[in-house]
Chains A and B, each alone.
Chain A
Amino acid sequence: MGTSTPELLPGTLYLLVMRTLAAGPLHGYAIAKRIKESSGAFLTVEEGSLYPALNRMLVKGWLKSEWGLSESNRKARFYQLTAKGRKQLEQEDKEFRSMVRAIKLVLDNA
């Protein structure tokens, strides 16, 4: 379970997952690992939220999944961005950046 890692901002988990998948299909474990590494071990995605989130995005049609073999030669489920997901990613990416910029402006200047 997550130790004392900071809580993700609400709604950002979808964004992080989609961004991670933008480079190509990955299985769940790899997604979690990739996010952790890319954040310099700062962010840990809890499994308890990762799988519901992945499935939520499947329902919404942002992702699709298929079974394949992992590097360790095990059967694994690979997730992949759909066209709809890519559009969603672009939009959320843009919104998030402007939000961060705005927050930063306030923190610096107010």
Chain B
Amino acid sequence: MEFRNKIAFWRGRREFDAALDEEMAFHVEERTDELQRSGVPREEALRRARVEFGSSLKTAEDTRREWQFTWLVDVIADLRYTARAMRKEPAFWLVAVVSLALGIGVNTAIFSLSVEALMSEPSVRDSSTIALARLGGNSHAGMPQFQFVRDAKAFPDVAGLREDGDINWRNGDETQRLFAMRVTDNMFEMAGIPVLMGRGLRPGEQDTVVISSRMWRGRLASDPNVIGRSLVLDGRPHTVVGVLPENHRTLFGFGFHPDLYAPVQGIQARVQLYVRTPEGTSMETARERLRLVGAALDKEMPEREIKYANDIRFTPVSGIQRVTSEKSISLFFAMLMTVVTLLLVIACLNVSGLLLARASSRGKEFAIRKSLGAGQSRLLRQLLTESLLLSVLGTLAGLALNLILTRLVSNVDLNLPVPIVLRIDPDWRLMAYASGIATACALLVGLLPAWRASRASAGDALKQSEHQVSGRLTLRRGLVVAQVATSLIILTTAVLFARNLVESLFTSPGFDLDKTLYASVRLVPESYPDAASRKALVMRAQTALAGVPGVESVATSGMIPFNDDSTYGGTIRTDISPEPKRIPRHVNRVGPGYFRTMGVPVLSGREFLDNDDNVVVVNQTFARLAFGDVPAVGHAVRFGEREVSIVGVVKDSKYAWMSDHQRPAVFECYQMSTGGSRAAIVNFMIRTPLDPETLVKSLRRTLNDVDTSAAVEVKPMKHAMGMALLPSRVGAGLLGLMGILGLVLTGIGLYGLMAYSVARRVREIGLRVALGAAPGRVLGLVFREGAWLVGIGLVLGLGASYFVTRPLARYLVEGLSTADPITYAAVSVLMIGAGWAACLVPARRALRVEPMEALRYE
């Protein structure tokens, strides 16, 4: 009823206004007649009747309002008003929208990046019912265990995946190493992985592969007849049966992007277990089922060291649960998110400051509107509409920036030893996040000015001119101080990472970076079926390498420093104490001459010799933690069941990360491992007195001659630091950018405030100049105010940074603490410089004030 009546009104609103005027006029006339009848003269009666009726405008307004969808009319009016304001002050709106766009663009870009890296949705059918299952705390399970779990029929389907498989592709006379994801033959069916062309792998197939779209477009030059094409992989022809779509994301996640999927080879392989849970089963039920399967497995295939039914882990492949498993990565993204949130806060404070400035110069306008009858809430809503519109515009512009930034990030080559491709596409999560951000910004930006406006009284504002309005700028000053403090936190983080990068480049890793190279050789596993044949090849290769002119020494190594890492956590026992100790340690297998080749000093004892058995070399930190002051050489250590004796202690060095600091390490004597996918990889460390770069070619040729089917990679160690420097590089790059952005935004905020402050004080300054104040004193006025603001912000910001940056210590090199004085000095200088620059223009404006003009200025 009401709704229909209102709609009817909307159609006839013009007639309504006329009728209402007529009705009110009639009212006044009747009253005039009545007064006249009681003896009041006509003129006087009319006047009194009008006074009694009061404001007919207001009555008409109130009456009309009864017929309207009030809120809608108001919103339209607010928007129309705001649009007019925008046309009037384009500069204000431009600065405000650009500020917000920068803040929001960078913020959402990092959000997209974090979501993609940590929570990307794998390309499978119904990802919510797939989970990664771990039995007995092991990340991977052997093929017999896999088959047992699958055949137990506790779950609709179970498939296995091996993420770090390499495969050699013989292409012409070149052998290239490709990254292969090894999967059990039922994986494509179980997961429902969509393909762009062809089909997935099928059960029972051995020599088929599905290639990535990147591989197809890149190495295979978008061959239109790629399906059915034969590739020689690990010495055997394989048929390409399918091509994955561009946006394929693996079950493994983290942006891991293999070149191809191939079936798991052999019974030796170990795979991650992915299970499909029945529709509607809770994680708890599924975990319990898995535990029962584990218990059955314990009966069927008892193992001495592990109980499969213990430590059952069940991780869904999508959603938030993934995030918690990778602490270091998650922390890094948490830090990035914190920084960009701070950046957004700075941007919002900037706009808030601008709005405050505008609000005080709009005091008069608001006072007039108020005295014309605009309600308090009406004015507040006007202000909030403006800030909402601002933040919506800012968000839209920010999203555009986001698309540009994420496109850039998607195409960046990180130069990592593992293939990682982050494909960032805008999705609903980004949209949801962006709308949240927009709302938060609108509130953050609009609340202060609104609160301030609500306290201004109409009378005061009307009486004063703009240049006298409310002497205090406390609120805006507070905002600028907050900006200075916040951007200091970002700057500190950025400078810490930049310092870290520089330090990393100049810090010695504890071995000779400039005189060493590595050669990584991946053999075709089938060509070397047993340890003896592999050992023969290693010997042959080592002899050949040692014969290359310029080579001083060659040693085998299980892992190349900075390219690989392994940490063992199990407890140890020493022969000097019955107490078991927990010493988490880096473990590597290295051959004779390794330490001499790397230039790592042997502090006591000796290096490995040929055919050393049951002996280890440890680093000084391990020796100290395990034996205290007792010399470790000659003593025995038990790792679980195995007892070995220590033959040497070497100096600490860095193993996987530049931030490795006094990290315990144990070296075992190099042997070819008997199985697993790494079995086919042999690494050599090579020492030369010459420039390592000059040896790369001859070393590669030598190794190629030893086995033409092997994929060979030779690099000076100097260039192999990709992973080690990654946190510093990404940190310094991204954070540096944000630090600069924050500094600029803060500078704009400070500039705005100072310019405004000078403009307000033009009369005062003019008077001072007229009374003979020297230019220095005038400048002092401006700079002193700026200095106070920056100073307070500096103290607060440095104090906050001291606490906030603490968790970053884990990314920093030895000797660089989060309380680094140089960093703190540097950011202070930067901030003071920015503050000075921001005051410069307003100060010059103050200097140019003409006394006479200023006094006349009104």
0/1 string, B57-68, CB within 8 A of A gives 1: 011001101110
Partner of B27, one of A28, A61, A75: A28
CB neighbours of B62 from chain A (8 A)? 48, 51-52
Known A55-B66, A59-B5, A77-B23; contact A48-B30, beta-carbon cutoff 8 A: no
Complex Cα gap A67–B185 (Å): 87
Smallest beta-carbon distance A32→chain B, Å: 8
Query: A72 near B33 (CB under 8 angstroms)?
Result: yes
Query: B53 near A72 (CB under 8 angstroms)?
Result: no
CB neighbours of A27 from chain B (8 A)? 26
Query: A29 near B27 (CB under 8 angstroms)?
Result: yes
Query: B1 near A51 (CB under 8 angstroms)?
Result: no
Known A29-B26, A75-B22, A75-B26; contact A48-B5, beta-carbon cutoff 8 A: no
Complex Cα gap A28–B25 (Å): 11
Query: B54 near A70 (CB under 8 angstroms)?
Result: no
Interface residues of A in 20-61 (CB under 8 A from B): 27-29, 46-48, 51-52, 54-56, 58-61
0/1 string, B1-42, CB within 8 A of A gives 1: 110011001000000000110111011011101000000000
**Nearest-neighbor residue (CB-CB) of A27 within chain B:** B26
**Nearest-neighbor residue (CB-CB) of A76 within chain B:** B26
Complex Cα gap A70–B51 (Å): 23
0/1 string, B40-58, CB within 8 A of A gives 1: 0000000000011111001
Partner of A51, one of B2, B5, B30, B63: B63
Number of contacting residues on A, CB 8 A? Answer: 22
Interface of A is mostly: helix
CB neighbours of B33 from chain A (8 A)? 72
Smallest beta-carbon distance A65→chain B, Å: 9
**Nearest-neighbor residue (CB-CB) of A32 within chain B:** B27
Query: B30 near A60 (CB under 8 angstroms)?
Result: no
Complex Cα gap A47–B20 (Å): 13
Known A28-B27, A47-B53; contact A60-B22, beta-carbon cutoff 8 A: no
Complex Cα gap A29–B53 (Å): 11
Smallest beta-carbon distance A72→chain B, Å: 6
CB neighbours of A47 from chain B (8 A)? 24, 27, 52-54, 59
Partner of A77, one of B1, B9, B19: B19
* Residue A1 interfacial (CB < 8 Å): yes
Query: B31 near A55 (CB under 8 angstroms)?
Result: no
CB neighbours of A48 from chain B (8 A)? 54-55, 58-59, 62
Complex Cα gap A51–B58 (Å): 11
Complex Cα gap A27–B51 (Å): 20
Partner of B26, one of A1, A58, A74: A74
Query: B27 near A1 (CB under 8 angstroms)?
Result: no
**Nearest-neighbor residue (CB-CB) of B19 within chain A:** A77
Partner of B66, one of A59, A61, A75, A76: A59
CB neighbours of B19 from chain A (8 A)? 77
Smallest beta-carbon distance A24→chain B, Å: 18
Smallest beta-carbon distance A17→chain B, Å: 14
0/1 string, A69-101, CB within 8 A of B gives 1: 010101111000000000000000000000000
CB neighbours of B51 from chain A (8 A)? 1
Smallest beta-carbon distance A84→chain B, Å: 8
Smallest beta-carbon distance B183→chain A, Å: 69
Smallest beta-carbon distance B665→chain A, Å: 82
CB neighbours of B26 from chain A (8 A)? 27-29, 70, 74-77
Smallest beta-carbon distance A46→chain B, Å: 7
CB neighbours of A60 from chain B (8 A)? 1-2
Partner of B30, one of A46, A52, A70: A70
Smallest beta-carbon distance B27→chain A, Å: 5
Complex Cα gap A70–B23 (Å): 12
**Nearest-neighbor residue (CB-CB) of A49 within chain B:** B62
Query: A58 near B53 (CB under 8 angstroms)?
Result: no
CB neighbours of B1 from chain A (8 A)? 60-61
CB neighbours of B22 from chain A (8 A)? 75, 77
Known A47-B52, A47-B54, A60-B2; contact A72-B63, beta-carbon cutoff 8 A: no
Smallest beta-carbon distance B250→chain A, Å: 62
Query: B24 near A51 (CB under 8 angstroms)?
Result: yes
**Nearest-neighbor residue (CB-CB) of A3 within chain B:** B52
Smallest beta-carbon distance B22→chain A, Å: 7
CB neighbours of B30 from chain A (8 A)? 29, 70, 72, 74
Query: A56 near B31 (CB under 8 angstroms)?
Result: no
Smallest beta-carbon distance B146→chain A, Å: 73
CB neighbours of B66 from chain A (8 A)? 52, 55-56, 58-59
Complex Cα gap A46–B29 (Å): 16
CB neighbours of A76 from chain B (8 A)? 23, 26
Smallest beta-carbon distance A25→chain B, Å: 14
CB neighbours of B24 from chain A (8 A)? 47, 51
**Nearest-neighbor residue (CB-CB) of A74 within chain B:** B26
**Nearest-neighbor residue (CB-CB) of B53 within chain A:** A47
Query: B23 near A28 (CB under 8 angstroms)?
Result: yes
Query: B31 near A51 (CB under 8 angstroms)?
Result: no
Complex Cα gap A77–B65 (Å): 19
Query: A51 near B59 (CB under 8 angstroms)?
Result: yes
Smallest beta-carbon distance A41→chain B, Å: 14
Smallest beta-carbon distance A54→chain B, Å: 8
CB neighbours of A61 from chain B (8 A)? 1-2, 5
Which has the most chain A C-beta neighbours within 10 Å: B20, B30, B54, B55?
B30
Smallest beta-carbon distance A62→chain B, Å: 10
* Interface, chain A (partner B; CB < 8 A): 1, 27-29, 46-48, 51-52, 54-56, 58-61, 70, 72, 74-77
9 contacts between A and B (CB under 8 A): A27-B26, A47-B54, A48-B54, A51-B63, A52-B62, A55-B67, A58-B66, A61-B1, A76-B26
Given contacts A28-B26, A52-B66, A77-B26, 20 further A-B contacts (CB under 8 A): A1-B51, A1-B54, A29-B26, A47-B54, A48-B54, A48-B62, A51-B20, A51-B23, A56-B66, A58-B5, A59-B67, A60-B2, A61-B1, A61-B2, A61-B5, A72-B30, A72-B33, A74-B29, A76-B23, A76-B26
Closest 5 CB pairs of A and B: A55-B66, A52-B62, A29-B30, A56-B66, A51-B63
